[in-house]
Chain A
Amino acid sequence: MGPRKNLRVRVVVLVVGCSLILSACTNTRNAPSLTNYSSTVDYGHVTSPSPAEQRATLAGTRAYRTLIVTSAQKFAAASSALLVAAQRGDRTAAKSDYLRAQEGFDAIRAQLNAVTPQPLSMDGRISDFPHWMPPAGLHAIEEDLWGTTGSRLVADAHALASIGAIMVFGLERSIATPNEYLTNAVRMLSWCIAQVIDDPQEQFSHLDLIDLTGTLGAVSAIVAGTVELGNLVNPHLTRTVVADMTQVQVTLRSLGNPAVTTDSQISNAQWRALVSAIDTLQSHLSELAGWLWGFGTGRTYA
């Protein structure tokens, strides 16, 4: 491995290592703001949650942790398989492993981001890297597989696989309150529009539906894990959120098979329908996040 590759692996491991250490001692939110900014939404104030609310809070926090851990495991397994396929020279298998790894990562991105600035070395687009930093991570591999840098594939896959295991370990303790994980979900929705639909992620394969499927699938799991508590606190808003989520999933599925449908095969009208569904969900979900503020401490090992 040349010096450039060594640097690449070191940068990746350093960034991920730091972020995971931080996430292990996670308390991702800032202290409640002291602002007197007046809002027209009258959020509930939780003083003493009922036993049912406590149970539902714990269930939601557990469901979120399960989502993060299983997604990290999926990411780790897919990146190991990707390395094996790359070493075998099997590009077809490597491509499908890449898509699985990307989808797994999409589910954990917001959790990682909540504790450390964007993990550039994991999922930064080639154009996002400053000139002094060698590209690394998923999109370096995407370029190796669909672009012109094929000779770097094994080294790049090696770098990615070497962090998969640490990732699972570090994310084991992803304990978040309902407000925290819903805030992550809201950010994931923003990311879908700003960083995928308006400004594609997959600049070489053009399979951006993969990112949307991974991210929106995770948001869907988060919403499902919130329904029990949401129904106790604001059933009407929760029903609206669930209906919005269904609309997002239906619209997403209508765009085609994410593993083969490229961006240009999707019309502007189709993109806009999806954006509109995501925007609606995002606005209601953030309201629900406000309602669920105060439940859980985020410090219970669920």
Chain B
Amino acid sequence: MTSYSEDSFPKESHFSRRGLLVGGGLASIGVALGIGTTRDLSPDNRNGVPPSESLIPFFGTHQAGIATPPQNHLLFGAFDVTTSRGDDLRAMLNAWSQAAAAMTAGQVVGTTTNTYAPPVDTGEARGLPAAGLTITIGYGPGLFTKDFGLTAPRLQPLPNFPGDNLTENESYGDIAIQCCADDPQVAFHALHMLARMGLGVVQLRYSQLGFGRTSVTTASQDVPRNLLGFKDGIENLRTNSARDYARFVWIDPHASTPRWQHHGTTMVVRKIRTHIESWSSSSLDTQEAVIGRFKDSGAPLSGSKMDDAPDFSAVDQYNNYVIPSSSHVRLASQHSNGGMTILRRGYGYSEGISPQSGEMLCGLYFICFQKDPHQFVTVQNSLSLADALNDYIEHVSSAVFAIPGGLAKGDAWGDQLFRS
């Protein structure tokens, strides 16, 4: 078995992908002149749509991609660790974080000097800006049962919930990589690069493309609509409430967990198929009663504006709850879950049709973050038994991961994990 060396992978390149377009021009002249140099690919035509130029810092107290205002696209990947050598895993994770730092800064990964070998950077993001790319890593419970001497004491696999219809090969995983960007090609490049760099140490277990964010984390972002046509993310934790994040999301730096978990969190991923044909054939009245909010305005059924706080005690003239007892927002709310909540950051997905029924295979790639997975379990327990939305949805995959804290400049994922 070949052992994995960090040196097989590039250090930071400092070449902007955009800058390289110019450099590429020079390089081709260089090639024409017979000088061996970096090869570049031609820029991609984005059909006149300017992709986001935003650049989100990779290094920081917390990892990016959690409280970060959700970008428009997701490529999520889960890996199984195939090596039994801790050193290999550590080296690979170190190389991954260096590559992630480069890609999130809109730079190419490494430099290709030998044209007789494959280029280091796979190239599909050349010419594209960072597009707000964030790359977030997480570790699944399976990693801690392997012989690496690693622990994550509070990380347990999720229980089975009523109605779960999980597909094994789209669930679980030892390492999660969440790539979010405003350009799907940039997100694709990120996962592709890491998967390629991980060969021999990890193997991709499944991946999922998501589009159309279904959440907001800041007061300034517009509330989007999900595939059911409802505004989603209205009642979500906002970054302007640091207290809420401290209470519900970030693991305390003094917590009795391994150090790599400090300032981290946990992530739950559930692929939730939506029977969109049935949903679209249900009356507006039914849809609104199922969700507990008006479709057009997003206002709770007890109010008139999106930002009105739901009044769960309001009753109509027949003494029925205005926000029905089986409505999604009632059952998911803090009100019904002993004050417990989660940070939602999911995306829509659509991927062909069911071979059995011919209906669209689409839905919500539900991702949420919370200090302790128990928070999700509490909410999902309440939803799985009684949510009226269950008539239209089906949970088809499930995974949970511990998300390490952010990296200081100069630190790396492998060192962070194995040091504690």
**Which residues from chain A contact B115 at a C-beta distance below 8 Å?**
none
Q: Is the CB of B162 within 8 A of A120?
A: yes
Determine whether the beta carbon of B296 is less than 8 Å from that of A37: yes
Judged by DSSP, the binding face of B is loop
Most buried by A among B275, B355, B392: B275
Judge whether B44 is part of the interface by a CB distance below 8 angstroms: no
Instruction: Give chain A interface residues in 191-246, CB to chain B under 8 Å.
Output: 191, 193-195, 197-199
Contact between A33 and B301 (Cβ–Cβ < 8 Å)?
Answer: yes
The A-contacting residues of B in range 274-294, CB under 8 angstroms, are 275, 277-286, 288-289, 294
**Contact assessment for A30 and B294 in the assembled complex, using a CB-CB cutoff below 8 Å:** no
Decide if A194 touches B358 in the complex (CB within 8 Å): no
Given A117-B326, A194-B391, A39–B285 Cβ distance below 8 Å?
no
Q: Is B297 at the interface (CB under 8 A from chain A)?
A: yes
The answer on a CB contact under 8 Å between B390 and A190 is no
* Chain B residues whose C-beta falls within 8 Å of the C-beta of A27 in the assembled complex: 318, 320
Asked if B113 CB lies within 8 Å of chain A CBs, one says no
Known: A31-B322, A117-B388, A187-B391. A130 touches B381 (CB 8 A): yes
Contact assessment for A271 and B356 in the assembled complex, using a CB-CB cutoff below 8 Å: yes
| Inter-chain contact B316/A36, CB cutoff 8 Å | no
Determine whether B8 belongs to the interface, using a CB cutoff of 8 Å to chain A: no
A39 cross-chain contacts in B, Cβ below 8 A: 284
Residue of A nearest to B396 (CB): A199
Which listed residue, B288, B355, B359, touches A193 by the CB 8 Å rule?
Answer: B359
Q: Which residue, B159, B281, B301, B381, has most C-beta atoms of chain A within 10 A?
A: B281
- State how many angstroms separate the Cβ of B304 from the closest Cβ of chain A: 7
**Range of interface residues on chain A?**
35 or more
In the complex the two chains form, is B282's CB within 8 Å of A198's CB?
no
Task: Check A153 for interface membership: any CB of B closer than 8 A.
Answer: no
C-alpha gap A36/B354 in the complex (Å): 34
CB distance from A115 to the nearest CB of B (A): 10
Q: A272-B358, A275-B358 are in contact. Are A289 and B283 (CB under 8 A)?
A: yes
Tell me, yes or no, whether A35 is within 8 Å of chain B by CB.
yes
Indicate if the CB atoms of A193 and B394 lie closer than 8 Å.
no
Which residues from B are CB-within-8-Å of A275? 357-359
Which residues in B have their C-beta under 8 angstroms from that of A31?
316-318, 320, 322
Residues in chain B within 8 A of chain A (CB atoms) = 159-165, 275, 277-286, 288-289, 294-297, 301, 304, 316-318, 320, 322, 324-326, 354-359, 381, 384-388, 390-392, 394
13 intermolecular pairs with C-beta atoms under 8 Å apart: A30-B324, A33-B284, A36-B296, A113-B391, A118-B390, A186-B281, A187-B282, A194-B278, A199-B165, A271-B356, A271-B357, A276-B358, A279-B281
With A30-B285, A272-B358, A279-B359 already in contact, 17 other A-B pairs whose C-beta atoms are closer than 8 Å: A30-B289, A33-B285, A37-B296, A113-B391, A118-B386, A120-B162, A120-B385, A127-B160, A127-B162, A130-B385, A183-B283, A186-B281, A190-B278, A194-B394, A276-B358, A283-B280, A286-B282
